[in-house]
Amino acid sequence: MSILLAVTGWDPGVWVQRMRALLPDHRITTPETLQDRAAIRYAVSWRHAPGALADLPNLQAIFSLGAGVDHMFGDPQLPEAPIVRIVDPDLRDRMSEWVMLHTLLHHRQQRRYDRQKLQRIWDDDESQPAARDVRVGILGLGVLGQDAARKLSMMGFDVAGWSRSPHRIEGIACLHGGEGLDALLARTDILVCLLPLTTRTRAILNASVFARLAKGGRFGGPVLINAGRGALQVEADIVAALDSGVLKAASLDVFETEPLPATSPLWTYPNVFITPHNAAISEPSAVAAYIAGQILSLERGQQLENVVDRTRGY
């Protein structure tokens, strides 16, 4: 039985090595070395080239090397086989670290102290709000959003979350649907986006949403934190909102175009933190173990887990 590893932008070598070690009875191949298409039972994809998974008559599952699966849907020849996404504590914890770090960087005004340090200024002038007086709104209450919500809540922040369907999470105000979004925005000082990119969420982080965020919060304007996908945000609207003061600051891990072009104005804002789409990397050992575990349990007759709903797009 063979596994086809089709990745773009990442070194396939490390993944081939990990998968071989965990599945010694399976042959791991890449599109470049693929000979027997009928032998392929599983595909492993990260932004695979369109058509790379076509004509695999015995394909049983497609594994995404990321939690997000939007990278596959641009392929007009994507096979019908079930798509499995990553749900893994290593990736989840990495994302929550990033979200907590960036929430705290804004909450504790770290940029201000960085500037003061460069100028050797000792100024403890400004009052520091308590976490309980800061309202965090999380878009997306899935695996990543729920974990970040719980951890921020444990730190004392006043946390609400928004999803497509209703949820109940102790200590978190859970909202959903169109009205829920209005209510969430109206009570949000720090907006954290952990949504998947779908036809319904594309460009959701736009001028209209920024204008509905809470005014009169503790930072002199709301803060945007996005680690979902770049196409969730309208960067021209972020720049305009930063210029007009509708947004006070931002932390962005994902961008409309990646790598973020050197010409992007986002680089120039002192109050915008930029990270290179590595809020939660897919750590090869953890993710290969997750995929190998799913393959072995499928071969023992069990069901695949974390299968994507193609009609919802996530």
Name the nearest CA neighbour of 150 among 132, 170, 135, 131. Answer: 170
Binding residue for ligand NDP (CB under 6 A) from 3, 279, 292, 295?
Answer: 279
Q: Give 260's contacts (C-beta < 8 A, 6+ positions apart).
A: 266, 267, 274, 276
Backbone angles phi and psi of 83, in degrees to 5: -105, 130
Please report, as residue ranges, which positions from 226 to 245 form the binding site for ligand NDP (by CB under 6 A). 227-229
The single residue among 209, 239, 260, 280 that binds ligand NDP, judged by CB under 6 A, is 280
Nearer to ligand OXD, 173 or 289 (CB): 289
Dihedral sign (CA 52, 253, 155, 149): negative
Least Cβ distance, residue 303 to ligand OXD (angstroms): 22
**277 Rama class: left (phi>0) / alpha (psi -120 to 50) / beta:** left
Told to check if 233 binds ligand OXD by CB under 6 A, we report no
Structure tokens that stand for 65 in this block: 């090397």
Choose which of 12, 66, 137, 222 interacts with ligand OXD (CB under 6 A).
66
- In terms of CB distance, is 83 or 213 closer to ligand OXD? 83
Distances (CA, A) of 78 to 45, 53, 67, 309: 11, 6, 18, 14
> Which of 155, 111, 102 lies closest to 132 in space, CA to CA?
155
Angle at CA of residue 139, ends 91 and 170, nearest 5°: 80
Report the partner that residue 131 touches, choosing among ligand OXD, ligand NDP, none (CB closer than 5 to 8 A by kind). none
Binding mask 268-287 for ligand OXD (x = CB under 6 A): ------------x-x-----
Please provide residue 256's backbone torsions phi and psi, each rounded to the nearest 5 degrees.
Answer: -55, -40
Cβ closer to ligand OXD: 12 or 66? Answer: 66
68 touches ligand NDP (CB under 6 A):
yes
Closer residue to ligand OXD in complex, CB, 70/158: 70
Strand partners, 2: 27, 40
* 134 within 8 A of 157, measured Cβ to Cβ: yes
Mask of contacts with ligand NDP, 198-217, x by CB under 6 A? x-xx----------------
> Is 277 labeled as catalytic in the residue annotation?
yes
Q: Give me the 142-161 binding string for ligand NDP, x by CB under 6 A, dash otherwise.
A: xxxx----------------
Active-site residue, 229 included: yes
210 or 255: CB nearest ligand NDP: 255
Please work out, in degrees rounded to the nearest 5, the angle formed at the alpha carbon of residue 49 by the alpha carbons of 45 and 51. Answer: 100
Q: Check binding of 68 to ligand OXD (CB under 6 A).
A: yes
Of the two residues 46 and 210, which places its CB atom closer to ligand OXD in the complex? Answer: 46
- Active-site option among 229, 300, 310, 312: 229
Query: What is the rounded end-to-end Cα distance, in angstroms, of the chain?
Result: 28
* Single-letter code of the amino acid located at 40: I
Assigned token pair, 177: 């649907």
Q: How far is the CB of 15 from ligand OXD (least distance, A)?
A: 14
Of 277, 300, 310, 312, which residue is the catalytic one?
Answer: 277
| Interface contacts to ligand OXD, rule CB under 6 A | 66-68, 280, 282
Judged by the rule CB under 6 A, the positions of this chain that interact with ligand NDP are: 66-68, 91, 95, 140-145, 162-165, 194-198, 200-201, 227-229, 253-254, 277, 279-280, 314
**Annotated catalytic sites, by residue?**
229, 277
